């Protein structure tokens, strides 16, 4: 069947609880776009126009339903002073966290038009919005405060401090929240729809108690800020989140994107309150065959398509940079085959 | 006393661990007993709690601080007599990959298991792994990778070891979320394990057999 709506309309219907023509398809195609465009990764994440062009070329090729502006979760921390190295064909690598050299009080809030690669990011959003903003949502990934806080610190020390020095961690998280809000003003102005990503909040790393203590309140504050603009906000947490599924609606996010969680369990617990996004295994996308992917994606979509408040077919986390294109195509084509509502 | 030392590790109390180990030594308790029945046994319980998802990464890191606090006092007092302390493990996260939380847990468990661990850190270039195998002559080379993009470099390390005729000098074990048994076999690694507690058992098996 052929699409009847634009991606923008399709997303618009979903968030007002109306069924669109078919299921939204938003695999997290981020830096994989550089592979599709045949671009060196460093050229992708250090130049906004390049990033946007690669994203546009990728959407034209795969015909999925979102542009994803993102390179890695360090961007806010970098703009606040953490130092990164830029390998030619790898994502940026954290070298010196700013808190190894300065105190929290000395860390300034970033100016998104000037600091680190935030200008690259904003340029990418603007470029993509000018080209396709009327047809497709331009998702702009915003590292959540708890994750940024770790990227400002030595990760090991930070994790220990979550238990030993709660007031210190709280003040780093607060500062990171202020920085995220600062960035969001500009992202919205440029035409981006903020999606909050909080990998550190994952139960693969921290306990539900730690989640409730730091990550949840700061996610909620960010969502509350964004709701003033009447935007529908996605929250993505990588890895295992089964122990905190019940807590996730408390963030007040409108859509929740899950990774290594049983989909039926997520539907049982969340689908009457939020739209669910997920959660095809990214390793499978990298290493499996189109035939297997088709069978698995079909099973996933058939089970989730009628989740009460709606469903977006996606990968559990980012599509691996070097995932074979035929595998990504298999994912998208399968959803386009089985994901119809208007029949 | 030894039971309280064990408890101090499990309860993440490094000050208590130092205090109790010092008292135990004054009372002429055998340092090997303090180590094995107190500190190491404590970390074994921690490994179980971690596997059961009662403890998460921060808790394990704190327990390991308590473990090291006691271990640092004990270390000079015990000779390198046991089989395990002769086993040397070189551990690192592969090039391009900054995920080192899992590697750190593996390190803690290995040290608690009595192995000597040389930690190369994260984002370690292939050449560095090779160099350290040459200079340190470890029994085990343990490589961690958390991404499908970086795990392929593991195969390059193994073929580089082959080319330099170093492959027979060291056993290579691999791990990290996307790695599995099948992948390990494909790249001709000597072993794989899904988590840190079983990584220790894996080394035991490889060295023992
Ligand atoms: C926390 C996290 C981060 C943190 C890492 C902080 C740090 N200092 O380590 C941050 C936020 C920085 C991060 C960044 C990124 N991340 Co990340 N991250 C995670 C997450 C949620 C948890 C990883 C973790 O720490 N787990 C807890 C530890 C204890 O478990 P573990 O690492 O698996 O280790 C255990 C075992 O595997 C084993 N083990 C580990 N090593 C070894 C070695 C040997 C020899 C043996 C025997 C055993 C063994 O023992 C350990 C203890 O039991 C995972 C999700 C997941 N499912 O794993 C994603 C994940 C690893 N990240 C992912 C990605 C894509 C990224 C980014 C590229 C995202 C981005 N664009 O910014 C960057 C990477 C940048 C880079 N160049 O490396 C993907 C990788 C996808 C793929 N298949 O390639 C994952 C899998 C998420 C997903 N589902 O897609 N991430």
Tokens of B53: 């998802």
At residue B149 the predicted structure's pLDDT band, cuts being 50, 70 and 90, is confident
- Note the pLDDT of residue A328: 98
Round to whole Å and give the CA distance between B188 and A337. 40
Q: How far is B87 from chain A (nearest CA, A)?
A: 26
Quick: pLDDT tens for A131-175. 999 999 999 999 999 999 999 999 999 999 999 999 999 999 999
Q: Which two tokens stand for residue A79?
A: 């703009």
CA distance A320 to A31: 8
Residue A310: the pLDDT is 97
Closest C-alpha to ligand 1, atom 63: B147
Q: Give the model's pLDDT for residue A176.
A: 98
pTM: 0.92
Residues B129-140: tens digit of each pLDDT: 999 999 999 999
Name which of B149, B153, B184 to mutate to probe chain A: the one with the most chain A Cβ atoms within 10 A of its Cβ. Answer: B149
Average pLDDT over residues A255-273: 97
> The complex's ipTM?
0.91
pLDDT (mean) for A43-53: 98
Q: Is A96 on the interface with B (CB under 8 A)?
A: no
Query: Does A107 have pLDDT greater than 60?
Result: yes
Q: In this structure, which CATH number among 3.90.1820.10, 3.40.50.300, 3.40.50.280, 1.25.40.80 belongs to the domain B88-208?
A: 3.40.50.280
pLDDT surpasses 70 at B85: no
pLDDT at residue B79, as a whole number: 62
* Contact between residue A73 and residue A30 where contact means Cβ atoms under 8 Å apart: no
Chain segment B109-120, per-residue pLDDT in tens: 898 888 899 999
Q: Do the beta carbons of residue A203 and residue A241 sit within 8 Å?
A: yes
The SS3 of residue B144 is strand
The full set of domain ranges for chain A reads 7-338
Asked whether residue B83 carries a pLDDT value surpassing 50, the answer given is: no
Please report the number of interchain residue pairs, chain A to chain B, with beta-carbon separation below 8 angstroms.
58
Whole-angstrom distance, CA of residue A286 vs CA of residue A324: 6
The C-alpha angle with vertex B172 and arms to B171 and B173, in degrees rounded to 5, equals: 120
What is the SS3 assignment for A71-140?
Answer: CCCCHHHHHCCCEEECCCCCCCEEEECHHHCCCHHHCCCCCCCCCCCHHHHHHHHHHHHHHHCCCCCEEE
State the average pLDDT over residues A204-217: 97
User: Ligand 1 centre and the CA of B145: distance in Å?
Assistant: 8
Is the model more confident about A54 or about B201? A54
Q: Which helix (H) or strand (E) holds B137?
A: none
Compute CA A28 distance to the chain's CA centroid, rounded to the nearest angstrom: 7
Per-residue pLDDT at B82 exceeds 90:
no
- Tell me what the mean pLDDT of segment B43-52 comes to: 91
Q: Which CATH number fits domain A7-338: 3.90.700.10, 3.20.20.210, 3.40.50.300, 1.10.1240.10?
A: 3.20.20.210
CATH of B2-80, one of 3.40.50.460, 1.10.1240.10, 3.10.180.10, 3.40.50.300: 1.10.1240.10
């Amino acid at each position: 069947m052929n699409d009847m709506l634009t991606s923008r309309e399709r997303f618009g219907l979903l968030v007002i609880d109306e069924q669109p023509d078919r299921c939204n398809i938003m695999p997290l195609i981020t830096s994989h776009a550089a592979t599709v465009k045949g671009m060196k990764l460093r050229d992708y994440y250090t130049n906004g126009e390049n990033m946007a062009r690669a994203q546009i070329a990728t959407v034209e090729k795969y015909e999925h339903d979102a542009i994803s502006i993102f390179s890695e979760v360090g961007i806010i921390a970098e703009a606040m002073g953490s130092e990164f190295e830029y390998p030619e064909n790898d994502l940026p690598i954290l070298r010196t966290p700013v808190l190894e050299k300065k105190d929290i009080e000395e860390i300034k809030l970033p100016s998104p038009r000037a600091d680190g690669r935030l200008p690259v990011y904003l340029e990418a959003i603007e470029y993509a919005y000018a080209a396709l903003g009327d047809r497709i949502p331009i998702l702009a990934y915003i590292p959540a405060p708890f994750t940024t806080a770790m990227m400002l610190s030595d990760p090991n020390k930070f994790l220990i401090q979550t238990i030993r020095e709660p007031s210190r961690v709280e003040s780093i998280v607060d500062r990171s929240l202020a920085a995220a809000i600062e960035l969001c003003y500009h992202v919205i102005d440029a035409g981006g729809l903020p999606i909050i990503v909080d990998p550190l909040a994952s139960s693969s790393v921290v306990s539900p108690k730690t989640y409730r203590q730091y990550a949840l309140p700061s996610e909620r504050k960010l969502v509350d800020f964004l709701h003033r603009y009447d935007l529908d906000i996605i929250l993505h947490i990588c890895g295992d989140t089964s122990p905190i599924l019940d807590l996730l609606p408390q963030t007040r996010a409108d859509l929740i994107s899950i990774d290594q969680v049983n989909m039926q369990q997520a539907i049982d617990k969340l689908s009457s309150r939020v739209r669910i996004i997920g959660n095809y295994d990214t390793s499978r996308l990298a290493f499996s065959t189109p035939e297997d992917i088709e069978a698995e994606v079909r099973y996933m979509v058939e089970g989730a398509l009628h989740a009460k408040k709606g469903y977006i077919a996606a990968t559990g986390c980012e599509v691996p940079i070097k995932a074979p294109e035929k595998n990504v195509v298999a994912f998208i084509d399968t959803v386009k085959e089985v994901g119809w509502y208007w029949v | 006393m030894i039971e309280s030392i064990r408890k101090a590790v499990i309860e993440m109390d490094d000050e208590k661990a130092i205090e109790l180990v010092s008292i135990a030594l004054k009372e002429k308790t055998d340092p090997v007993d303090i180590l094995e029945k107190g500190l190491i046994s404590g970390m074994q319980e921690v490994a179980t709690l971690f596997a059961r998802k009662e403890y998460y990464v921060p808790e394990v890191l704190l327990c390991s601080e308590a473990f090291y606090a006691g271990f640092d006092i004990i270390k000079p007092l015990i000779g390198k007599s046991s089989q395990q302390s002769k086993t040397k493990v070189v551990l690192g996260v592969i090039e391009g990959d900054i995920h080192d939380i899992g590697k750190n847990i593996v390190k803690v468990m290995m040290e608690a298991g009595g192995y000597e661990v040389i930690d190369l850190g994260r984002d370690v270039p292939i050449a560095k792994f090779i160099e350290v195998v040459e200079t340190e002559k470890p029994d085990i080379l343990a490589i961690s990778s958390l991404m499908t993009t970086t795990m392929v470099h593991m195969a390059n390390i193994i073929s580089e070891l082959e080319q330099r005729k170093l492959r027979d000098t060291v056993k290579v074990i691999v791990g990290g979320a996307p790695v599995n048994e099948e992948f390990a076999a494909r790249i001709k690694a000597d072993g794989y394990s899904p988590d840190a507690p079983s990584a220790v058992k894996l080394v035991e098996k490889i060295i023992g057999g």
